[in-house]
Amino acid sequence: MKKFYITTPIYYPSGKAHMGHCYSTVAADVVARYKRSRGFEVMFLTGTDEHGQKIELAAAADNLSPKSYVDKIVFEFKELWRTLGVSYDKFIRTTDDYHVNTVQKIFKTLYEKGQIYKGKYSGWYCVPCESFFADGKLKNDKCPDCGREVRQQEEEAYFFKLSEYSEKILEFYKNNPEFIQPESRKNEMINFIKSGLEDLCVSRTSFKWGIPVDFDRLHVVYVWLDALTNYVTALGYCQEDEKLFKKFWPADVHFVGKEIVRFHAVIWPAILMALDLEIPSKVYGHGWILFGDGQKMSKSRGNVVDPFVLCKRYGVDAIRYFLLREIPFGSDGYFSNEALITRINSDLANDLGNLISRSSKLAEKGFGSIIPLERENTNEDLKISELALKIINEFEIDMDDFKFSSALSKIWNLISACNKYIDENSPWKMVNIPEKHARLASILYNIFEVLRIISIAIAPIMPETSEKIQFQIGASKKICSWECAKKWGMFQNNNKISRGSALFPRIDCEKELESLEILNLNNNKKEESDKTCSIEDFKKIKLIVVKVLNCEIVKNSKKLLKLLVSGGIFERTVVSGISEYYSPENLIGHNVILVENLKPAKLCGIESHGMILAASSKNGKSVKVLFADSNEPGDTIS
Ligand code: MSP
């Protein structure tokens, strides 16, 4: 059996999943379903990329351990994929034991092969992007990727010898001209490589939430090596059972957003070359879903449209259809509720919905829903069958090239042709004229044949709708395989049509937009109220002035100080992450402010009772403890 391995990026579980995340996943699901229907044995992988400083910080802000923090979000991601009917074969979490162990093995292998070496990294660091940038790479002194503040950072780190791979990768592109899709992205990559590849930093010591380098425990594997290798660890590479790896590797295609093509088309092939592994056949860099203001949809910009809400209101298939039809896969495109509703009304309710409802109504009126044997075909009928078979072939070519929007537009041309065929033949006039019944039967038979073919074609994109159509037109599974989509006249005589409710009810656009606005407003208010803290909440926090009696640096930690403080009638140990900004002698003897009733927590094995208040500058470069030397230990702050 032919095999097909498709992957999505693994998502950062750092916030709620949004429509932007659904894009790759739904597209990959469509391909997986399509390939299965074409007889391939498919492995469809998705998952979550759970390590890194961003997650560590987000978890700390929520007062959770990184693992509990991501567990919650990963659950939501999985719920969303279930809602959207995503038929993945495997969901990988980079915190899964088998992945952690294999990444450690890969790291060690690369080190032993001399492909990874220890060095020092200094540069501008962007925390949210977890990336270092050289001086010249900043944009207006800010992160060139996200536009946020960056800070100078230096640390000991391991490096992968990426710079040695420029020629080999360019050569690979030459021999595999289809590797990067769409074509325009290939040119970007060639230019990027030609501008000079630097060795890649693959470990960090400045945060802990990552896979430890097992032979140098101060280091954790930096996220991209951890993340990219998921595509092989998920298949059991370097593990006891390599069956899946042997069967499915190399991947047939990695679907990724355009901003991470670089990692998949340059860094990933280099890592694979270093490991003597085959390189995937294709990396497809799709565009972004944008909002009206031209911004990429993302949680941090607060312009998220909740996919759960939209699926519930309009049905999952409408959302899947919209995502793939509205925006050509390689390009950026806009999302708006209005555009979504317009597509539902015009393409789904009017064109497709109408075709089914008017033809089944005619079948009911004319023949009690059973198309009779006696039929009378004309040249026009031949045209519609030829068109259907031509379009299904073109559809196949587009789907093989991941041109989903174009593939769907062809199916909708066929739907329009069918509606026109009905309009031009006016079959409703034949219902009450028995002599015309053979002709009427023929027209209806042809329409149901086209609908059968359409239902097979759209199954990967709109699985529920496809099934509903097949039920309504009485098409059994036997005549709905992919091969049957390419054959005309598969219906047995006397097939029974069942009239169901409208597949896609029309939506009153103006009213619906108003309702969505109110809904959004309420959701925002709820989110705000979840974020705000009432005076009662605030009163729960006990702030007390304490004197620092003793202070020392915590061994094996770059950031932590252990303080012994006195609040007059009590003494406490507090661990504070300020050693980059204060040495013990700057603190001993001073009065500081303690959050007295914070739940105790263990940091580097030391139980910390409370937290010292400090102010961080906006750019994150400096942290200043709030001294309270004019107060007495034990004074309370309110
Ligand atoms: N964890 C990395 C990927 C590692 S793959 C080995 C990552 N995660 S992400 O959560 O930030 O993004 C995952 C994918 O979602 C990316 O391909 C990104 O392009 C995609 N999208 C996020 N927002 C998007 C839109 N608004 N539109 C389309 N896709 C976008 O990067």
130 CB near ligand 1 (under 6 Å): no
Q: What percent of the chain has pLDDT over 90?
A: 72
Note the pLDDT tens digit of each residue in 351-399. Answer: 999 999 999 999 999 999 988 778 888 888 999 999 999 999 999 999 9
21 Cα to the center of ligand 1, angstroms: 6
Note the pLDDT tens digit of each residue in 294-339. Answer: 666 554 444 447 899 999 999 999 999 999 999 999 999 988 889 9
CATH of domain 538-637: 2.40.50.140
The residue contributing the CA closest to ligand 1 atom 23 is: 20
17 CB near ligand 1 (under 6 Å): no
The residue contributing the CA closest to ligand 1 atom 12 is: 11
Q: How many CB atoms lie within 10 A of CB 67?
A: 14
Is a pLDDT exceeding 90 seen at residue 255? yes
10 Cα to the center of ligand 1, angstroms: 8
Note the pLDDT tens digit of each residue in 516-541. Answer: 877 776 776 666 666 667 777 788 89
pLDDT higher for 534 or 628?
Answer: 628
pLDDT at residue 461, as a whole number: 98
Which residue type does 560 have? L
pLDDT at residue 332, as a whole number: 94
296 CB near ligand 1 (under 6 Å): yes
pLDDT at residue 22, as a whole number: 96
21 CB near ligand 1 (under 6 Å): yes
Residues 487-513 have a mean pLDDT of 88
Taking a C-beta distance cutoff of 8 angstroms, is the pair 88, 81 a contact? Answer: yes
Decide which of 1.10.8.420, 3.40.190.10, 1.10.730.10, 3.30.60.50 is the CATH code for 344-532: 1.10.730.10
- Give the length of the chain: 638
351 Cα to the center of ligand 1, angstroms: 33
pLDDT at residue 299, as a whole number: 46
289 CB near ligand 1 (under 6 Å): yes
Taking a C-beta distance cutoff of 8 angstroms, is the pair 255, 28 a contact? Answer: yes
Average the pLDDT over each of 32-41, 64-73, 200-209, 303-312 and give the range with the smallest value. Answer: 303-312
Residue spans of the domains in the chain: they are 344-532, 538-637
Whole-number Cα distances in Å, 636 to 47, 535, 568, 624: 48, 17, 11, 20
Per DSSP bridges, beta strands 283-286 and 253-257 are parallel
Is a pLDDT exceeding 50 seen at residue 249? yes
Is a pLDDT exceeding 90 seen at residue 579? no
CB neighbour list of residue 161: distance below 8 Å, 6 or more residues apart? 114, 115, 116, 117, 199, 274
CA angle 446/448/454 to nearest 5° reads: 105
Is a pLDDT exceeding 90 seen at residue 36? yes
12 CB near ligand 1 (under 6 Å): yes
Q: What is the overall mean pLDDT for the chain?
A: 91
Note the pLDDT tens digit of each residue in 452-462. Answer: 999 999 999 99
Note the pLDDT tens digit of each residue in 180-217. Answer: 999 999 999 999 999 999 999 999 988 889 999 999 99
Question: What is the number of the ligand 1 atom nearest to the C-alpha of 290?
Answer: 26
Question: What is the number of the ligand 1 atom nearest to the C-alpha of 18?
Answer: 23
Question: What is the number of the ligand 1 atom nearest to the C-alpha of 24?
Answer: 29
The residue contributing the CA closest to ligand 1 atom 13 is: 11
23 Cα to the center of ligand 1, angstroms: 9
Residues 166-184 have a mean pLDDT of 97
Residues 405-423 have a mean pLDDT of 97
Please report which confidence band the pLDDT of residue 125 belongs to, taking 50, 70 and 90 as the band edges.
confident
Whole-number Cα distances in Å, 250 to 25, 126, 139, 496, 540: 20, 33, 37, 46, 56
297 CB near ligand 1 (under 6 Å): yes
- For residue 210, the Cα-to-chain-centroid distance in whole angstroms is 21
Residues 398-409 have a mean pLDDT of 98
Q: What percent of the chain has pLDDT over 70?
A: 95
Residues 77-83 have a mean pLDDT of 97
Question: Within 13 Å, how many C-alpha atoms sit on residue 209's CB side?
Answer: 21
pLDDT at residue 301, as a whole number: 44
Which residue type does 169 have? I
262 CB near ligand 1 (under 6 Å): no
The residue contributing the CA closest to ligand 1 atom 18 is: 257
CA angle 431/437/442 to nearest 5° reads: 110
pLDDT at residue 601, as a whole number: 79
263 Cα to the center of ligand 1, angstroms: 12
256 CB near ligand 1 (under 6 Å): yes
pLDDT at residue 297, as a whole number: 55
Is a pLDDT exceeding 60 seen at residue 616? yes
261 CB near ligand 1 (under 6 Å): no
Using CA atoms, how far apart are residues 478 and 126, in angstroms rounded to an integer?
A: 56
